[in-house]
Structure 1
Amino acid sequence: MTLTSARPDKAFWLSAIQREAAALRAVTAVDDALASPVPSCPGWTVADLFRHTGAGLRWVAAHVVRGETGSPGDPSTDGAPTGADLLPWWDAALAAAVAALGGTAPDLPAWNWAPQDKVARFWYRRFAHELAVHRWDGQVAVGLPEPIETALAVDGVDEVLDTWLPADGGLAKTGDGVVQLIADDSEDSWIVRVRGGAISLLDTATLLPEERPLQTQVSGSASDVELALYGRVPFDILTVTGDETLLDCLRVG
């Protein structure tokens, strides 16, 4: 678990959604941006990125206000416009999502796919990171990538470890060992026990140094740690010591 005791809240995530969405939208100011391929999402153009995120925003706007824990089905890009209609459609999707999330109580019942409480709080966090990572994707496509803000990236690493990996029901690769991830631009670190196809997130606040039999240690900015976990950047841009193969077990993208 992270060493940070403060937890993000609704205001933090809503602010991040608006900030990251604005930065993604700004990508379209670059000439021919919508036609640009997205290297971190093979086969996609920036236009595809906007169709994908727009469909997700429309989906969460309709879902989060229902007050129900039954699955609403998956987001779909069917019917998403192309050409000149795409960006106005995306802008409307963002406005609808911000209004729905902003007007919804964090504890309102709402379905999610993770082994967590089925409440709306999940979706503030999820879409903050959905937009942050895809904002980075869009900026890479036009050659102007910017890191994810440190506090948001720290929460993004938390989300990978406490939500994505446990929800998968098994890691993409198996391993056996203990990994420490360190965000060297904050006071945050995580210790993860990989055993077979599963992980355990250990409490760094209570472990003594001699209780940390590390096989692998990774350090870098919180943004780079999050982006590496999402497969956006290679782990070798960070400082890595020990068994690098264990890191493949932690990738979710």
Structure 2
Amino acid sequence: MDYPALFQAEAEALLASAAKDLDAPVPACPGWDCRRLVSHVARLLDSTVAHLPRGVVDPPPRVERPPAESAALVEHYRRAVAATAALLRDLDPAAPAWNMTLEPRVVGFWRRRLAHELQIHAWDAAGAAGEARPLDPVLAADGIDELLRALLPASRAAGLSGPGDGTAHIHLTDTPGEWMIGLAGDKVDVTEGHAKGDAGLRGEAGPALLALWGRTGFDAPGLTAFGDTDLLLALRAG
């Protein structure tokens, strides 16, 4: 999967929607408008640009907030996207780089993470503009795998995810993807394949990813939840 190219495409889509009205509220992020959304992403990318080239696994330095004025913010965002895309493309994926999970601390983590971060936020921005933006099923399925294997274990270990112990099964219907997730205390065990769990979620990859990120409910169109549906809430990474 060409994560740098996917990151670039999602970043451009986000700005195309958000720039139509930076003061428009973002329904998926209560209390946010598009200005705050663009600023949030730009600051994340500024932090990425600051820490990826260092070749160390220490936490990154703090970066300043982007400018609030519309034209300056848009230009700042564009520069941050261009700088980040160049690093994701040019740096060795195996080079050391900090991340906040239990995964290997290498540049390759950020190639995947930022592609998915921007996919979700591009969807957020589209909603603010009143646009429908279905998620690419293959990228969404990979996003579910990242959430379950990388983000959820870190969140659960830190006590940031919802409570609940048991097993949950996710089965995608529009692209390959099937996981069994075991939750026990601060531990998360993820395997591939078909099995019956205490809870189940079946449906399309895009809606499933959005539900796991709390953008929609697990009863959203395209999804069917089974069993102890409250346990599905514990799959959200916080």
Q: TM-score by structure 2 length? A: 0.92
Residue type of the alignment partner of 1:59: S
RMSD: 1.7
Number of the residue aligned with 1:4: none
Query: Equivalents in 1 of 2:66, 2:176: separation in Å?
Result: 45
Q: After TM superposition, list the pairs within 5 Å mapping 1:219-238 onto structure 2.
A: 219-237=202-220, 238=223
Is 1:20 the counterpart of 2:10 in the alignment? yes
| CA offsets 1:184-225 (integer angstroms, 9 cap, x no match) | 101211111122453211242xxxx6xx34222111111111
SS at match of 2:27: coil
Gaps of 5+ in 1: 1-7
Match for residue 5 of structure 1? none
Q: Distance in 2 between matches of 1:22 and 1:230?
A: 21
Q: Is the 8 A contact 1:174 1:195 kept in 2?
A: no
Alignment of 1:176-215 (within 5 A): 176-204=165-193, 212-215=195-198
Task: Determine if contact 1:139/1:145 at 8 Å carries over to the other structure.
Answer: yes
| Bigger relative contact order (CA 8 A; separation at least 6) | 1
Give the Cα separation in 2 of the matches to 1:160 and 1:225.
12
| 2:47 matches 1:64 | no
Query: 1:99 aligns to what?
Result: 86
Alignment map for 1:116-135 (pairs within 5 Å) = 116-135=103-122
Q: 1:16 is aligned with what amino acid?
A: L
Deviation at 1:114, TM superposition (A): 1.0
Which SS does the other structure have where 1:233 is aligned?
coil
Question: Where does 1:16-95 land on structure 2 (aligned, <5 Å)?
Answer: 16-28=6-18, 30=20, 33-74=21-62, 76=63, 78-95=65-82
Distance 1:230 1:105 in 2: 29
**Quick check: 1:61–1:100 contact (8 Å CA) kept in 2?**
yes
- Report the equivalent of 1:111: 98
Greater CA drift, 223-232 or 166-175: 166-175
Partner of 2:136: 149
DSSP 3-state at the match of 1:240:
strand
Aligned counterparts of 1:127 and 1:189: Cα–Cα separation in 2: 23
Q: 2: CA distance between counterparts of 1:96 and 1:242?
A: 46
Alignment partners' CA distance in 1, 2:203 and 2:8? 26
Question: Which secondary structure state, in structure 2, belongs to the residue aligned with residue 175 of structure 1?
Answer: coil
For residue 87 of structure 1, report the CA deviation from its aligned partner: 0.7
Counterpart-to-counterpart distance in 1, 2:136 and 2:3: 12
- Give a deviation string over 1:20-66, Cα, whole Å, max 9, x none: 01211211453xx2110111111111011111111111221221111
Amino acid corresponding to residue 249 of structure 1 in structure 2? A
Q: How many residues align?
A: 234
Shift of 1:80: 2.8
- Structure 1 counterpart of 2:200, which letter? Q
Q: Is the 8 A contact 2:175 2:205 kept in 1?
A: yes
Matched to 1:67, the amino acid is: G
Query: If the length of structure 1 is used for normalisation, what is the TM-score?
Result: 0.87
Gaps of 5+ in 2: none
1:38 touches 1:46 (CA, 8 Å); kept in 2? yes
SS in 1 for 2:65: coil
* Partner SS, residue 157 of structure 1: helix
User: Does the aligned pair in 1 maintain the 2:200–2:226 contact within 8 Å?
Assistant: yes
Spell out structure 1 runs of 4+ moving beyond 4 A.
none
Residues 39 and 73 of structure 2 are in contact (CA less than 8 Å); yes or no, is this contact kept in structure 1?
A: yes
Match of 1:242 in 2: 227
Percent identity among equivalent residues?
A: 37
Asked whether the 8 Å contact 2:38–2:77 carries over to 1, the reply is yes
Q: 1:22 to 1:172 in 2, by over 3 A?
A: same
Give the letter for the 2:51 counterpart: H
Q: Does the residue aligned with 1:193 lie in a helix, a strand or coil?
A: strand
